[in-house]
Amino acid sequence: MLTKSIPSLFTVGNLFLGVLSIILVFNGESGRAAVLVIVAMLLDGLDGRVARALNAQSEFGKELDSLSDVISFGVAPAFIMYVVAFNDPNVISPAFAWIVTAIFPICGALRLARFNVVAGTPGYFIGLPIPAAGGVLCTLALFKAEINVYVLLVSTVLLSYLMVSTVKYPNFKKAGIPKAAIWITPIIVAAAILIAVQWPESISKMIFVPLLLYALYGLKKNVDGIFIRLRRKNKRRAVEDKNSVKSDL
């Protein structure tokens, strides 16, 4: 029974860090708040692997994971961005800031609900996974001094769209861990927390780059798909025009 509960402990830890992140950002510690979201991503990546290694997968764990993800990677990053960048009525209309902030966790919840009920493509996620979207958003907020606030607004909406899109993203979660190596996972988590506490903003900004590249990968695939469809449409039209000319002759 205790063994079966271990994956859920990782998931609860993920949720706990998400709640702490919200508390920290409202206490003016946005750097530490962002890094807690990053550590929560680590826990989120470990819970499924531990469950598979222990053969402890369950519907309860799946639902708990989704509920935790909404808080840690939907609500927490949205609050971080709001407090850091959108909470100035002299720059952005409060109502508009509230709407953009709310859109992000709403799209995250929709994406998780679709993930739970719609069969995906083996090896791929359909839509940007909410942990990646949340990781990009909370670390992007740390660049508020270097990036125009309207760019941050557009980025928030774009990340929200990518979550509910049908763009395929590579799925790295299927890579498992040996059962004998499970005892190492608490050490990894403890080391991650120690590093995060020591260098919060530096670590968060370093993590931002690979997360951004992952998110942009899907955006590029989406744009490429649009151009491919346009080329096919133009080819069909050219063929139809050619056949029409022949029939007239």
CATH classification of the domain holding 102: 1.20.120.1760
Residue 245 counted as domain residue: no
Residue 220 counted as domain residue: no
Residue 81 counted as domain residue: yes
Tokens linked to 56: 């402890």
- String of b and e for 30-69 (b: at least 16 CB within 10 Å)? bbbbbbbbbbbbbbbbbbbbbbbbeebeeeebeebbbebb
Residue 119 counted as domain residue: yes
pLDDT tens for each residue of 45-100: 777 777 766 676 777 878 888 899 999 999 999 999 999 999 888 888 999 999 99
Can you list the alpha helix ranges (DSSP code H) found in the chain?
Answer: 2-25, 30-53, 59-69, 76-81, 94-117, 130-140, 149-164, 185-198, 200-248
Q: How many domains does the chain have?
A: 1
Residue 135 counted as domain residue: yes
pLDDT tens for each residue of 181-208: 555 656 655 666 666 666 555 666 667 6
Domain extent, residue 72, equals 1-204
Residue 35 counted as domain residue: yes
Residue 232 counted as domain residue: no
Residue 219 counted as domain residue: no
Q: Enter the pTM of the model.
A: 0.77
